[in-house]
Amino acid sequence: MIDNFLNINHIFFNQKEELQNDYFYHLQIIQRKKDIEELGCNNILLKAIIIDNDHPLDKFKDDIIKMCEYYQARAYINVGPKSKKKVAVQMLQDLAQCFAKNDFDYTKRLWNTAAGTVSPFLKRWIIDCDITDEFTMEDRQNVINIVHESSPVGYKMIGVVPTLHGYHVITTPFDIRRLKEEYPNLDVHKNNPTVLYVPDSLIK
């Protein structure tokens, strides 16, 4: 089981001013074909949740865990807070495209797609570090050192979140050239979710 509720709360929700007024975190509960072979598509979104000051993460914890356990699903949360207004504007643009193409099947996905598309209010990047024989815990620490030494020089760590195969190292933006030179196979995600919860049934 991967349970990052305490970790996520500590990393993202210790400064309440981040979530005043317009901002929220985008949480999704998803079934994945890699976990359930019978799925007809790669992913099925079971539920999308707005996390803000009126709807804190702890309020949904029990329901999220129950859904993940029952449906063999994973819970993810985007590491950067989004603007509700920007999501609404993106939805209007996407809706206009539906009318232009006379294709309205897409409308059921409007909010979730818009929430995933818009850029975060606070830029937070994820370095995806899978621990293998070729990439060790020592390499993970070296990655963190490279991040701090890259422009702009200084402390950039936001947190480290355990995943099924390693860790998500979450940072503020930095010049990625040195990191890519030394670790060309590492992925750096600039608008992605991290793992919140994965049930035991999906850990093989």
Reported as a single tens digit per residue, the pLDDT across 130-164 is 999 999 999 999 999 999 999 999 999 999 999 99
Q: Dihedrals φ, ψ of 20, to 5°?
A: -70, 145
Domain-ending residue, one of 92, 119, 146: 119
Kindly state whether residue 198 falls inside one of the protein's structural domains: no
Shared-domain flag, residues 187 and 139: yes
Per-residue pLDDT band at 18 (split at 50, 70, 90): low
Rounded Cα distance between 61 and 59, Å, is 6
pTM assigned to the model:
0.92
With H, G, I as helix, E, B as strand and everything else as coil, classify residue 161.
Answer: strand
Kindly state whether residue 94 falls inside one of the protein's structural domains: yes
Shared-domain flag, residues 94 and 148: no
Kindly state whether residue 16 falls inside one of the protein's structural domains: no
The boundaries of the domain holding residue 93 are 84-119
Domain-ending residue, one of 94, 119, 144: 119
Shared-domain flag, residues 129 and 188: yes
Which letter does DSSP use for residue 17 in this model? G
Question: Average pLDDT for residues 73-77, to the nearest whole number?
Answer: 97
Shared-domain flag, residues 145 and 185: yes
Measured on CA atoms in the order 95, 101, 102, 103, is the torsion positive or negative?
negative
